[in-house]
Structure 1
Amino acid sequence: MVGAGGIGCELIKTLVLSGFRHIHAVDMDTIETSNLNRQFLFRRHHVGRSKAAVAAEAVLAMRPDVSVVSDQSDITGPHADVDFFRSFSVVLSGLDNLRARRHVNRMCLAAKTPLVESGTAGYLGQVSVHLGEGRTECFECQPKPLPKTFPVCTIRSTPDKPIHCIVWAKEVLFPRLFARQVPGYEEDDDVAEGGAGIETGDVDEHGETGRAHGKASKSSASIYAPLVDETPSQYAARVFDQVFGADVARLEVLARAAWEAGGAPRRALAPLFLDSLAGVRDQVKKAGTRQTRNADERSGSLSARRELDVADAHAVWSVEQAAAVFLLGLELFLSRRAEEVGQLSFDKDDELAMDVVAAAANLRAASFGIPQLSRFEVQGMAGNIVHAIATTNATVAGLIVLEATKIIAAGGETRGNPAGQPTKPSASSPLNATHTTFVRADVSNNKLLTPMASPPPNPTCAVCGKAMLELRVDPDVFTVGDLVEKVLKSQLAMLSPTIEAEDFLYEEGEGLEADEVAFYKLCLRKTLREVPGTNAAYRVLELSDQQQQLSARMYVHLEEGFRSEDKTYEFVGGKLEQPLGKPEEPVEREKEEEVRGQEPASSSDIVVEEEDGEEHDSGDDLVVVSSTMEDLAGPNAEPMGGKRELDEAPDENERKRARA
């Protein structure tokens, strides 16, 4: 059992009460306070302990006669090799991130161990069975949605949605303030958020160029670092005027200049300077002198909003209230948690960090004329939360156990014959009864559960099929390092990729000598043009990952000057997860959309550009293991509101759609 969170707690309890006697529970996480409302095996005194260990203790108290091994480790680690997966009769997954789910899928395929996958998102859920060996589709046979992220230029200069402001506060401002670095952002980007040639501090509160308030301009590196003899309150005020005042005023000057030069009209921006916000300084000063500070001053306990009496998480703060929360939050960090400053990372469960991010996001939104949100809403979006429903978790856990029971009952039929070929299940085999089941938010045919036979493999799947991946790149810019990090690891979820092409080899993993490691490190700098090949128009690369026992072939189109948005590469078809093959007919796509209905919140690490122009709350914390209705419903599910009962014979059109 992989994952001992929302689904995992229900699952391990149901397993032991259903007669399963030998369970190995894997989860690398520890228990947090925010888990307690739905992960019912945990109590407050368990906070900080291993989820797997506490879950095992809880079910052993229910059934002392069972064997439960708790394993607090990373399921993608080298210890969890093929032999590890091969040692189990079935793997039950309740994971909450796509990368780990892909890895488990590939290891189960390599080990020929059946996998039961699951996921929930609010009222929606699904359970699917993946037997491998050509029996059923694997987890990656159907395209999975990529995490949604946004272009840097939108986040920094042209936000127009609340999520843009939240991303900026969480991913840009917070690291600058408390980590003194911004991963993925070049240092010279900070010199002028609006563009090169205008130094920080060179725009006054009226938007005019010149020294702001008579102070010399400062470099980016010094803006967020406390000055010598600067008090926490002075630091907070200086940063406030710079970030929400001078920087926004500079962007307004540039936007105005662009409009006068014939650019698209844009709304006027509203810089915020502390002197223009009546009573904020006094409010912060008063809160700072109170003797009612939280008695418990551990890292996650201090709260600026409570000190300012704006503790209602569902209320939308005024600009003045947000400014006060931001200022006091910075003061508390510098005065009460100074030892952490310089190495902090954002945590949605850190009260003070969440206060600062929520306040900063709303101040940014106010400057750009964007609707402001409550702290509760900001926390949900910043923490990628889809709020969990315990009954959905319980339902899905029960469905997992039903499918696991069928697999266990089939015994050796799941392993194939000694020659390594799958054995065709007998007519009475429980394997013929495995289902993919969808938990619905609405009732259809008086049912909330919609089962369907486990779909066959997708012949174009790059993992279990014979597909060739295709990539378009600018060969003079795109490097082997880009291929490894941006494509193979980030989007294909490989762990230690190997690349072979004619007279070229790149390897990662254990067993390499020091000189080999140094040589391959140099290979990362090569452009795709420099990779040996007899044809100037393309390269054919053989890809493999020994740890995952995965291999694939990639056809790389070399197109000089190629650009897709602001990237120098693009997967053919637009998404790396899109299987190659003949596109579906429009009528079938309409049927598919009918199945999907309204999409729930999507999982997000905010790394990939937004394309659809719609705003979604993000979610993969809590219990989200499936992030869109496409994953939850699947392309072959019965359309919503369909009249045919599931045990009736499908018509010819449905057979064609299933084959597609």
Structure 2
Amino acid sequence: MPLSVCLTMWRRSLKTQLLQYDSTLAVFGTDFQNRIGNVRLFVVGSGAIGCELLKNYAMLGIGSGPGGMILVTDMDAIEKSNLNRQFLFRPWDVGKQKSSTSALVVKSMNPQIRIMSHQNRVGKDTEGIYNEYFFSRLTCVTNALDNVDARKYMDLRCVYFRKPLLESGTLGTKGNVQVILPNLTESYGSSQDPPEKSIPMCTLKNFPNAIEHTLQWARDLFEGTFTTGPQDADSYINDPEFMDRTLKLPGSQPMDILEKVKSHLVDDKPSSFEDCIAWARLFWEELFVNVIKQLLHTYPADTTTESGQPFWSGPKRLPHALSFDYDEEKCQEFVVAGANLRALNYGFKENRIAGKIIPAIATTTSLVCGLVCIELYKLVQGHKNLERFKNGFINLALPFFGFSEPIPADVHTYHDKKWTLWDKFEIREEKAPTMTAFISLFKRQHKLDVTMVSYGETMLFADFMPEDKIRERLKMSMRDLVVQVADDDIPHWKRALDFEAAAEDKDEEDADIPPIRYVLSQS
């Protein structure tokens, strides 16, 4: 190829790159853009936040370099209800996998990025895929999840493999971003929201005065009607000890439970979906007409207290019995939902009628994802000072925008050594193949007397065990203890086992020590 043609192609390529990333290049320079391109990022989730993050990453050029990569995983398929807030998807995408579709779309936005999609749930069953080798190659993890359990799991994995995690979430007009940095900050699981204040039962049943009260009433109603009741009926049939346990309960509980069992198995047992509809219609009448009329019969509208004040005043709102209207959408929705839930209880085919979904606020999602990208820039720049990073808290309805430094990780000590949740003892199998060698190593290297060793929820060794069992366990290899005592097969891809130990110092005081990573021999 002639040199002039090569130069022309090079200039065109350079011009395209300059146009694509001109803002970043102007502010941060070419070296930083190259580092952005070589980032290896794991995006967990491809819903509303995931779509917005992937779009941002494509525009920034993340994963566009020779060493870069974006990997996104989401096990869900696209539904019609997703289209109003997950903007990478179109009507013709309904039924396709979210992760693969979003990857194709952002690839079309920026053909230079390297992106791979998986359809896996993150959890114990995929640890063979997202293993130590996988995490060792990552620059960072960004969560785009919609449930706390998955967030906590990914948080534990990032702490275990010492990888940065950018956590984010939205709820209507509210949003937050949390920066989790190895060896510096606390983790997502280090703190939790304070428990919600309980609402008095009389307020829930008869005197609600806020939407939170009616929401809790609906949750309790669902739990009692469609979960607890059917479970008791199932236990009555299949559990021979159910009656004995029930009859030992105090007060009127046995009679209440058995009446519900009789209702589910005899009195109100449906034989068709039409029976479920009839039940739901009568249930509506009981909840929104009969109960209210009984309450107003007990406390009429003109009732006064002993002091002469109106009974229905302040937080006590005067209720009104409803009249069922077949043209009223809310009445129809209750009957349809109740009938379908009842059908699920008894294994009938449901009459699936799509309900309305309150859309997430796209502006909140966009703002939160922008904040995530700002913190990702700081990570790529290599900052190690906590003051550089910011957790974000927003509420567009107020409006409120608050930022704070990430909270440092709690520091623990044993002897004069300090450690945080990011630290572990690391012991190689060849150095301590048996429990005896394991305990001796702690005594020799750390001046600690191990009194108990556990693997998960299984106790492998304890100094209060019978002497014959202690002698047996001390002779066993750590591998055999896990396989035979904990009944856990060690998969071929697993490079380390995780133990917890209790230990005492030279003064026989309990020592607060980190967990133990037991690195397996690969021979």
TM-score of the pair, normalised by structure 2? 0.54
Separation (CA, whole Å) in 2 of partners of 1:183 and 1:199: 9
Q: What does residue 140 of structure 1 align with?
A: 189
Q: What does residue 342 of structure 1 align with?
A: 346
1:342 partner letter: Y
Q: What does residue 44 of structure 2 align with?
A: 2
Residue of 383, 401, 409 corresponding to 1:457: 409
Contact 1:117 1:128 in 2 (8 A): yes
Query: Using a 3 Å threshold, how does the CA distance of structure 1 residues 166 and 20 change in structure 2: closer, same or farther?
Result: same
Residue 224 (structure 1) shift: 4.1
Q: Which has the larger radius of gyration?
A: 2
Q: What does residue 173 of structure 1 align with?
A: 225
Contact 1:140 1:463 in 2 (8 A): no
SS at 1:140's partner residue?
helix
Separation (CA, whole Å) in 2 of partners of 1:435 and 1:247: 55
Separation (CA, whole Å) in 1 of partners of 2:100 and 2:289: 50
Residue of 93, 112, 132 corresponding to 2:162: 112
Residue 125 (structure 1) shift: 2.4
Q: What does residue 85 of structure 2 align with?
A: 38
1:226 corresponds to 2:274:
no
Query: Using a 3 Å threshold, how does the CA distance of structure 1 residues 346 and 10 change in structure 2: closer, same or farther?
Result: farther
Residue 17 (structure 1) shift: 0.8
Separation (CA, whole Å) in 2 of partners of 1:456 and 1:26: 30
C-alpha distance after superposition, 1:612-639 (max 9, x if no partner)? xxxxxxxxxxxxxxxxxxxxxxxxxxxx
Separation (CA, whole Å) in 2 of partners of 1:388 and 1:106: 28
Contact 1:82 1:107 in 2 (8 A): no
2:224 partner letter: V
Residue of 140, 147, 151 corresponding to 1:101: 151
C-alpha distance after superposition, 1:49-90 (max 9, x if no partner)? 322122111101111221111112122232323332222111
Q: What does residue 647 of structure 1 align with?
A: none
1:96 partner letter: D
Residue 450 (structure 1) shift: 3.9
Q: What does residue 485 of structure 1 align with?
A: none
Separation (CA, whole Å) in 2 of partners of 1:84 and 1:183: 47
C-alpha distance after superposition, 1:132-179 (max 9, x if no partner)? 1x32333233x21267697998899889531232113432323479xx
1:394 corresponds to 2:366:
yes
Separation (CA, whole Å) in 2 of partners of 1:33 and 1:164: 29
Q: What does residue 100 of structure 2 align with?
A: 53
1:126 partner letter: N
Residue of 356, 359, 379 corresponding to 1:407: 379
Separation (CA, whole Å) in 1 of partners of 2:197 and 2:497: 27
SS at 2:44's partner residue?
coil
Residue 223 (structure 1) shift: 3.7
More helix by share: 2
Q: What does residue 438 of structure 1 align with?
A: 392
Separation (CA, whole Å) in 2 of partners of 1:235 and 1:225: 9
Q: What does residue 207 of structure 1 align with?
A: none
Query: Using a 3 Å threshold, how does the CA distance of structure 1 residues 327 and 404 change in structure 2: closer, same or farther?
Result: closer
Residue 97 (structure 1) shift: 2.1
1:135 partner letter: L
1:14 corresponds to 2:56:
yes
Contact 2:70 2:116 in 1 (8 A): yes
Residue of 159, 162, 165 corresponding to 2:214: 162
Query: Using a 3 Å threshold, how does the CA distance of structure 1 residues 70 and 194 change in structure 2: closer, same or farther?
Result: farther
Separation (CA, whole Å) in 1 of partners of 2:334 and 2:93: 32
Contact 1:128 1:454 in 2 (8 A): yes
Query: Using a 3 Å threshold, how does the CA distance of structure 1 residues 464 and 146 change in structure 2: closer, same or farther?
Result: farther
Separation (CA, whole Å) in 2 of partners of 1:104 and 1:224: 45
Unmatched segments (≥5 aa) in structure 1: 203-216, 253-265, 284-307, 312-316, 355-375, 381-386, 411-428, 467-494, 519-545, 555-660
Q: What does residue 512 of structure 2 align with?
A: none
Contact 2:375 2:390 in 1 (8 A): no
C-alpha distance after superposition, 1:202-255 (max 9, x if no partner)? 9xxxxxxxxxxxxxx945432442259995666556767888899999999xxx
C-alpha distance after superposition, 1:381-420 (max 9, x if no partner)? xxxxxx632122112212222222232233xxxxxxxxxx
1:24 partner letter: L
2:185 partner letter: T
Identity over the aligned pairs, expressed in percent? 24
Contact 2:168 2:175 in 1 (8 A): yes
Separation (CA, whole Å) in 2 of partners of 1:496 and 1:31: 37
Separation (CA, whole Å) in 2 of partners of 1:236 and 1:434: 57
Separation (CA, whole Å) in 1 of partners of 2:231 and 2:282: 19
Separation (CA, whole Å) in 2 of partners of 1:155 and 1:51: 43
Q: CA RMSD in A?
A: 5.7
2:394 partner letter: R
Following superposition of structure 1 onto structure 2, how do residues 225-304 of structure 1 map, counting pairs within 5 Å?
Answer: 225-226=269-270
Count residues in correspondence.
372
1:17 partner letter: M
Query: Using a 3 Å threshold, how does the CA distance of structure 1 residues 399 and 344 change in structure 2: closer, same or farther?
Result: farther
Contact 1:171 1:182 in 2 (8 A): no
TM-score of the pair, normalised by structure 1? 0.44
2:380 partner letter: I
Separation (CA, whole Å) in 2 of partners of 1:67 and 1:183: 54
Query: Using a 3 Å threshold, how does the CA distance of structure 1 residues 464 and 182 change in structure 2: closer, same or farther?
Result: farther
Separation (CA, whole Å) in 1 of partners of 2:481 and 2:99: 32
Residue 351 (structure 1) shift: 4.1
Which sits farther off after the overlay, 157-166 or 223-232? Answer: 223-232
Contact 1:106 1:548 in 2 (8 A): no
Query: Using a 3 Å threshold, how does the CA distance of structure 1 residues 221 and 441 change in structure 2: closer, same or farther?
Result: same
Separation (CA, whole Å) in 1 of partners of 2:376 and 2:289: 59
1:310 corresponds to 2:328:
yes
Unmatched segments (≥5 aa) in structure 2: 1-42, 64-68, 237-241, 297-310, 413-418, 425-454, 470-478, 489-494, 504-523
Contact 2:74 2:119 in 1 (8 A): yes
SS at 2:56's partner residue?
helix
